Amino acid sequence: MAEGALEAQAGTPVAGISPRRFLLPLALAQFICSFAGSNMNVMINDISDDLDTTVKGVQTAITLFLLIMAVLMIPGSKLTERWGRKRCFMAGLMLYGVGALLSAVSPGLGVLILGNSVFEGVGTALLIPPVYILTTMAFTDLTSRAKAFGAISGMGGIGAAAGPLIGGLLTTGISWRAAFLFQALVIVTILLLSRRIVDPAPPDPDRPFDTVGAVLSAVGMFCLVFAILQIGTHNALSAVFAVVGGGFLTWFFLYIRGCERKGKAPLLSTALFKNRTSNLALVTQNIQWLLLTGTSFVVAVYLQTVRGYSAIGTGVIFTATTLGLLVSSFAAGRLARKRAQRTLVVAGFVCTLAGIGMLIGLVLAWSSIFAFVPGLLLIGLGLGVMLTPSVNIVQSSFPEDEQEEISGLSRSISNLGSSLGTAIAGTILISAVATGNTSYVWAMIALAIGGVIGLVAALFLPAEIGRRGHPAPVPP
């Protein structure tokens, strides 16, 4: 899918190199970061046994990685203006690589969290905003930009879907630690491929950075997701963190509004939230990643802890999701030329909800492992259809001079969805994992409720949003 989109741009010089060579490291970067968010799901039993921890401990590591990405994505986007887009990209890759190596040799859960959750999480927050900002700045016309976003977003979806399969193969064939060495090798490859990328604009060291706003937003989001993780085990602590998180986020919005009234540059402009179309598309983005990571975690944990499947057995089942994403991603270009972007997003949610329904109905009625295949296939098809249109709608809702800011917000919202998917559905599943099918059903129902919310948001998108590369003018 990515190769097709890159080849479609051949012959148009971008930043002094061919479009294919320009986009390849950026698409690989999105692939490996999405891969990291899902590949640990099939290693849960192996990591728990090797590091003498619990399923809840591994879930915490996974969720913290996704959460740190989310809370630092907007500050990371802002730092690209001060430090330069390529410099942030390369620094993020190096931090990520260090985290992958540290995770590969971790003797316990604490070091795993430091390497995977902290170093890889911070590295991702630095490298992902430049991926979308560099693409926006290099591809100036809407058609070529849509193709580039399609390649990058598609690789992200494929990375998340293929994570369990690749992780399962490496874990069973070698060790769970090999999956982190694989990540480090990919990072080295990206670093080598990125040498000829040239930043299209010089950095601005004097650009103001809102440290207070960054701290307030990060603490608020962290506390809210951490509160979800404590449900069922420490309910009182969960309530405290929920209140604290809500308080910090309220403080954050009051703070940035005050900054704007004083003529200062806040971390995030409140004007970004005045665009109704963008707001609805951001909701769909959040829910899409919530469904992808939530389903991956729930099914993987259920197969390993209740059904007793190995890492490779669990990973192979997710081939259905990967195939679904590949098929719909390959068809995305043709579909986008024939159907409006809203239509694709709505169809994607309908297909994904049907897949969740099958994951509940067939799994309860049929004990065979093949009961998971139709549902996972439909989820892959649905997500592959709508990932790119949602990104296009958001990015195309703002002028060129606001692309850096909306790119950071868009990535933060998507990664927050990933962390919420693992936190909410995973907490429901793990809090009553001994009950087997019952906890699995409730976790899937929670994901279905999220899917319905995403579908409703998609239905309210303006009908006049056109085909890929030709969005209708959207008033703020």
SS3 state at 206: coil
pLDDT at 400: 67
Answer left, alpha or beta for residue 250, where phi above 0 means left and psi between -120 and 50 means alpha.
Answer: alpha
pLDDT at 146: 67
334 or 434, higher pLDDT = 334
Question: Using 50, 70 and 90 to split pLDDT, how confident is the model at 298?
Answer: confident
Residue 475 has pLDDT above 60, yes or no: no
pLDDT tens readout for residues 224-233: 888 887 776 7
pTM of the model: 0.78
- Cα separations (Å) of 395 from 30, 136, 160, 272, 422? 17, 9, 22, 11, 26
pLDDT at 402: 74
Question: Using 50, 70 and 90 to split pLDDT, how confident is the model at 432?
Answer: low
Residue 449 has pLDDT above 80, yes or no: yes
* CB neighbour list of residue 138: distance below 8 Å, 6 or more residues apart: 14, 15, 22, 148, 200
pLDDT at 133: 81
Whether domain 16-198+267-459 has CATH 1.20.1250.20: yes
Residue 330 has pLDDT above 80, yes or no: no
Average pLDDT over residues 137-155: 74
Q: Are 450 and 291 in contact (CB under 8 A)?
A: yes
pLDDT tens readout for residues 7-63: 433 334 454 567 778 888 999 998 998 888 778 888 888 898 899 988 888 878 888
pLDDT tens readout for residues 384-429: 888 878 887 887 788 766 766 777 788 778 877 877 777 777 777 7
Percentage of residues in the chain having pLDDT higher than 70: 89
* CB neighbour list of residue 324: distance below 8 Å, 6 or more residues apart: 161, 376, 377, 378, 379, 380, 381, 382, 383, 384
380 or 10, higher pLDDT = 380
Nearest to 164 by CA among 302, 28, 51, 306: 302
Domain coordinates in residue numbering, the chain: 16-198+267-459, 211-266
pLDDT at 210: 87
Residue 224 to residue 157: CA distance in whole angstroms:
26
Residue 267 has pLDDT above 60, yes or no: yes
Average pLDDT over residues 274-300: 90
Question: Using 50, 70 and 90 to split pLDDT, how confident is the model at 119?
Answer: very high
Contacts of residues 200-208 at CB distance under 8 Å and 24 or more positions apart, as own/partner, are: 200/15, 200/85, 200/134, 200/137, 200/138, 201/85, 201/137, 202/84, 203/81, 203/82, 203/83, 203/84, 203/87, 204/81, 204/82, 205/82, 205/83, 207/81, 207/82, 208/264, 208/265
